[in-house]
Structures are given as C-alpha cells and as structure tokens.
Amino acid sequence: MGSGLTKEGLEASPLTTITEHQGGINCMALSEDSSLLVSGSDDRTVHMWSTKSEPIENLGVLNGHTGFIQCATVYDTYVITGSKDTTIKKWDMATAACEYTYTGHTGRVNRVICSGEFLFSTSHDKTARAWLFHTHDVHDPSQACIRVFEGHTGVVSAVIFVPGQDTGVPDDNGFNINPSDILITASFDNTARVWSFDTAQCLKVVEDAHDGAILYLRVVNRLMYTTGTDNYAKCWARDGLENTRTYKDHTDSVTAARFHNGVLYTVCNDGIVRAFDAKSGSLKRKFLGHKNAVTCLAVCVNQQEDQVYTRLVTGDNNGILIVWNATGISSEVPMVTMDQEYQCKQNQRLEELNQHLDDYVADDPLTKSSTTSLGGGMNTDEIDNLGIIDDD
C-alpha cells in the first residue's frame, strides 16, 4: 500500500474510500483500544467497522432510530447514539440489539458522552441532560434522566464532563455525584457555560469564545480545543480559559477536531482535512479527497510487529468515508507559515507562554504502553489523567 502522499509530501491523498452509507455521515466514535470504529449517518443507521483490517471491514449495522444519527460514543461493549428523533439509544455491540431508549429531549440530540455511571447529552432543545447509564432497575423511562441543565439561549452543541475530587459518599439519591463535579457546554448562542453536576446550576458563562456558534469542545490534559462557524479552531488553557492559539487557513466552518501526538487535526465544511502543529499553530499537511463538507474524524493507531501505524478516518455529508495515512506527521516540519503580522504576535505570545504550556502539553496517551488503564470504554484520546471525558 502506498504512503498516500504527493511527491512534495505536503498534501495527502486517500488510501481507501468507502461508500457503504446511503446518506451523509455525521459522527464517528472509537473504542478504547481503537479496534472498533462506529459511524452514524443521515440514512438512520450506525455502521461498526474493524480498524485492524486493511481495508477497514464492516462488522455490522445498528438499525432502530427513526431519524438521522447525529452523535455516537462507545463505552465498554456498548454503542450509544443520539438522533434527530430526539432519543438516545444504548446498543449491545455483540448482538446489535438496542437495550434501552432514553426519552426526554424535545429536539435533536447533538452530543452524547459516557462516564461509566452517567450519560450526558446536548440537544437542539437548548438543554443538556444527565442520565443513568445502568438502567436495569429503571422501570419508568422518566426516571433515567437525573439532571437538566437549562440556561443557553441557543442550540447546545458540545459537552465535557470534568470529575471533581471523589468524596466516596453517595448523594441523597445514592448517586456517586461529587460537589466539585462540573460540566462544560457550548452553544450556538456563542457562549460556553460551566455547570455544577451536583446542583445543575450554572457557575460561569464564557462569552464570545468564537465569533459565531461553537461547534466542538475537546480536552487534552490541561488544554481545551474548540471549533466554530467563524472558520477557526482555538486552543485554551483550561485553567482560566485563556486563548493561547488560533488555528487559521480554514475557509468555512470548522466542524470537529482531534489531537494526537502533538498534532491537531481539523475537518471543515470547505472539504479539506488539515493537520496543524498543536503548539505553534502552523499547518503541517492538507488531506485532499473529499468533494463535500467534512463532518467528523477519528485517529486510529495500530501496531504490527515493531511498526506503529497512524490512520486518519474522515466522513463527509455525501456519505463518503476516507482512510488516510497519518503516520509520522508529528515529526514533520510545518509546511505553511502564517502571515507576517500574525506570526509576530504569535511569536510574542509563544515567548510569554512557552514555559506555561510546556507544563500543559504532555505526551499523547496513545504513545504510552497499551497496558496502562485509563478507565473503561473510552478511547485514550478522550480521557486524560484527570478523568475528563469529552466529545467522541
């Protein structure tokens, strides 16, 4: 198999193109060991793929939603999906059977994440909700929802769960919710909000993080990455929410991002997938092959004998999945420099923040020993040493 690079080495071409979905692809999620990839589509199905095969192999299809699939996550042996039909479904990946359907949202479900004990979701109904993950003893579906977070004035898009110090003492309802547990949500109202999980009260409002709707949140160690309709991806120091980097070059809304081994990958409505040096903000590579808006991505790392291979999988709104070779990008010299004025400002900020950020940008967890346990069911890019869980 070829490298998927042009002879200049600056632009990547597809390794594999897959056309099994019959509608636009809206979301992807990886299992903890990166061996299982799931994709959700406008065709109302979720496909499960083996990333260990070359090319990736379709393992099965989940059917049952009556609206398009907007979001998905993988936890343990379960796939959890959210849909335009306003429901969340929990599927057994071994049997492809739906084990439980969560109802309560009154609009499209935009994101769903899982902590192991709880699910957290966001919706077009302008709320976020917390649900019990284990539903064996839940006989009334309304009892599965334990918190509603209300306050945004626009669609709620992304969500992050930040666990606080574990007191070891259950709350009055027997739930393992600690007073310092928080949620962070982002919205089309151009704000992010910090919430107490314990009380469902809003603790802080961050305004004008982007000049437009915030589409995505992602946490890696002590940094947070966001994307928006203002054509930018941004990096923030999570403590204090100081904007430390802005990733330019996009010509349309940036729909999602992934961090791996010092590289920030972004997907954009302009049809281009980009790889940036996460620390400097410089562009390292463009992946050209999609003819429509790119909506989602996943980074898969496989090891064969002594070789480690990195594959990037992206999906677009025409139902196309593309697999790319991303091996070795972290060691490459950036390919594109920024405009002189912006570069000067960035260099000044780099000088001021360099020591500060060196403490923040830790080694990517995926490069560490696979025997290190980071918690059940979450890909190691999704959870850092503090247990933070964000969008899949």
Identify the H or E element spanning 299.
Answer: strand 294-304
- Interval 367-388: pLDDT, tens: 322 222 222 333 333 333 345 6
Identify the H or E element spanning 67.
Answer: none
Q: Are 391 and 28 in contact (CB under 8 A)?
A: no
**Predicted confidence band at 208 (pLDDT cuts at 50, 70, 90)?**
confident
Q: What is the pTM of this model?
A: 0.83
Helix, strand, coil share of the chain (percent; to 5): 5, 45, 45
Domains present along the chain, CATH in parentheses: 11-367 (2.130.10.10)
Q: Are 40 and 72 in contact (CB under 8 A)?
A: yes
Q: Is the pLDDT of residue 3 over 50?
A: no
- Interval 124-182: pLDDT, tens: 999 999 999 999 888 887 889 999 999 999 999 999 999 998 888 888 888 899 999 99
Q: What is the mean pLDDT of residues 344-357?
A: 46
* DSSP three-state, residue 350: helix
Identify the H or E element spanning 351.
Answer: helix 340-358
Kindly state the percentage of the chain with pLDDT values over 70. Answer: 82
Tokens at 91, concatenated:
């599927």
Q: Which residues pair with 185 in a beta bridge?
A: 159, 193
Count of CB atoms situated within 10 Å of the CB of 51: 22
Q: Are 334 and 280 in contact (CB under 8 A)?
A: yes
Tokens at 135, concatenated:
């539903």
